[in-house]
Structure 1
Amino acid sequence: MTHGAGGFSSGGGGGFSGGGFSTGGIHIHHYHHTTHSTSVSGDAECEKCCCKLVVLGINIASILLCIRKMSRYLRIALLWIYVATAVLTAGLLISINVLGTNKFQAAPTDMRKVQDHVNNVFCQSLTLNSSDPFEAYTFDQEPVVDLNRTEEFNTSYKMTIVRNNYEYWGFYLLPGSTLQFNSSNIFSIFTKIFVIQGESNLQTWLDGKGDCSGCYIYKHDLQSLDTYAMNSSEADNYFFVFFNDGLFDASSTANFFIKRTLYDVSKATSNCTFVPGKPSCRFDVSLNPEQSVVFHSSRRARHQSIDMWSSCKARAWMYVIVFALLPMLVASALSFLFWKFCKEDRTDENQDLVPYQVLDEVVSDQELNKLKS
Structure 2
Amino acid sequence: MVHGTGSFGGGGGGGGFSGGGGFSFSATTYHTHHYHSRRSGEAGDCDCSWICVCLCCRGQSFQVRICTLWTWIVAIILITSLITVFHVNKTQKIEATVTDMRKVPKTFSETFCDGVTVTSHKSTFNAYLMDGEPSNYLGKLQHITFQKKTQIKYNSYEYWGFYLLANSRIEISACPDSSLDFVIIKGEKDFSKFKKDECFYSCSVFSKTFYCYSNKPRVYQYTVKADDEYYLIFANRYIMPFPTGLAVNFTLDKRLYDVSNHVEECANSETSPTCTLNFHSLHSHPSIVLNVTSSSDLEGDAEIEVACISRKWVYVMIFFLVPTVLGLLGTMLIVKKYRKKSTNTPTSTRSNAPFNALPSVLEEERQQASAPAAGPGYGSVTPPPKYEESGGAPPSYEEATRK
TM-score by length of 1: 0.66
| Corresponding position of 1:200 | 189
Q: Does 1:316 align with 2:312?
A: yes
The count of residues paired between Structure 1 and Structure 2 equals 307
> For the Cα contact (< 8 Å) 1:181–1:257, is it kept in 2?
yes
Judged with a 3 Å threshold, the aligned counterparts in structure 2 of structure 1 residues 149 and 81 are, in CA distance, closer, same or farther, namely same
> For the Cα contact (< 8 Å) 2:141–2:253, is it kept in 1?
yes
Q: 1:91 aligns with which of 73, 81, 93?
A: 81
| Corresponding position of 2:44 | none
Q: Does 1:234 align with 2:230?
A: no
Q: 1: distance between equivalents of 2:150 and 2:61? A: 73
> For the Cα contact (< 8 Å) 1:140–1:292, is it kept in 2?
yes
Greater helix proportion? 1
Q: Does 1:46 align with 2:36?
A: no
Q: Secondary structure at the match of 2:199?
A: coil
| C-alpha displacement of 1:176 | 2.1
Q: How does 1:301-340 map to 2 (within 5 A)?
A: 303-305=298-300, 306-340=302-336
| Corresponding position of 1:290 | 285
Q: 1: distance between equivalents of 2:319 and 2:148? A: 50
| Corresponding position of 1:174 | 165
Q: How does 1:133-148 map to 2 (within 5 A)?
A: 133-148=124-139
Judged with a 3 Å threshold, the aligned counterparts in structure 2 of structure 1 residues 164 and 304 are, in CA distance, closer, same or farther, namely closer
Q: In terms of Rg, which structure is larger?
A: 2
Q: 2: distance between equivalents of 1:251 and 1:150? A: 32
Judged with a 3 Å threshold, the aligned counterparts in structure 2 of structure 1 residues 206 and 185 are, in CA distance, closer, same or farther, namely closer
- Structure 2 gap segments, 5+ residues each: 11-24, 36-47, 348-403
Q: Secondary structure at the match of 2:324?
A: helix
| Worse overlay, 169-178 or 221-230 | 221-230
> For the Cα contact (< 8 Å) 1:140–1:288, is it kept in 2?
yes
Judged with a 3 Å threshold, the aligned counterparts in structure 2 of structure 1 residues 3 and 109 are, in CA distance, closer, same or farther, namely same
| C-alpha displacement of 1:105 | 2.8
> For the Cα contact (< 8 Å) 2:2–2:299, is it kept in 1?
no
> For the Cα contact (< 8 Å) 2:8–2:195, is it kept in 1?
no
| C-alpha displacement of 1:174 | 1.7
- Structure 1 gap segments, 5+ residues each: 11-38, 53-57, 348-373
| C-alpha displacement of 1:111 | 1.4
| Corresponding position of 1:218 | 206
Q: Secondary structure at the match of 2:204?
A: coil
Q: Secondary structure at the match of 2:133?
A: coil
Q: 1: distance between equivalents of 2:192 and 2:185? A: 10
Q: Secondary structure at the match of 2:56?
A: coil
| C-alpha displacement of 1:207 | 5.7
Provide Cα deviations, 1:282-309, integer angstroms capped at 9, x if missing partner: 1102465422222222379873433433
The CA RMSD over aligned residues, in Å, is: 3.9
| Corresponding position of 1:256 | 250
* AA in 1 matched with 2:208: H
| Corresponding position of 1:122 | 112
Q: 2: distance between equivalents of 1:124 and 1:292? A: 14
Provide Cα deviations, 1:305-324, integer angstroms capped at 9, x if missing partner: 33433332222222222322
Q: Secondary structure at the match of 1:47?
A: coil
* AA in 2 matched with 1:295: L
Q: 2: distance between equivalents of 1:165 and 1:158? A: 16
Q: 2: distance between equivalents of 1:64 and 1:174? A: 55
* AA in 2 matched with 1:328: T
Q: 2: distance between equivalents of 1:329 and 1:240? A: 59
* AA in 2 matched with 1:200: K
Q: 1: distance between equivalents of 2:256 and 2:266? A: 17
Judged with a 3 Å threshold, the aligned counterparts in structure 2 of structure 1 residues 331 and 231 are, in CA distance, closer, same or farther, namely farther
> For the Cα contact (< 8 Å) 1:153–1:299, is it kept in 2?
no
Q: Does 1:73 align with 2:63?
A: yes
State percent identity of aligned pairs: 27
| Corresponding position of 1:269 | 263
Q: 2: distance between equivalents of 1:332 and 1:157? A: 70
* AA in 1 matched with 2:289: V
| C-alpha displacement of 1:118 | 3.7
| C-alpha displacement of 1:326 | 2.9
Judged with a 3 Å threshold, the aligned counterparts in structure 2 of structure 1 residues 199 and 300 are, in CA distance, closer, same or farther, namely closer
> For the Cα contact (< 8 Å) 2:2–2:160, is it kept in 1?
yes
| Worse overlay, 215-224 or 143-152 | 215-224
Judged with a 3 Å threshold, the aligned counterparts in structure 2 of structure 1 residues 255 and 121 are, in CA distance, closer, same or farther, namely farther
Judged with a 3 Å threshold, the aligned counterparts in structure 2 of structure 1 residues 242 and 329 are, in CA distance, closer, same or farther, namely farther
Q: 2: distance between equivalents of 1:46 and 1:164? A: 43
> For the Cα contact (< 8 Å) 1:99–1:313, is it kept in 2?
no
| C-alpha displacement of 1:180 | 1.6
Q: Secondary structure at the match of 1:142?
A: coil
| Worse overlay, 242-251 or 321-330 | 242-251
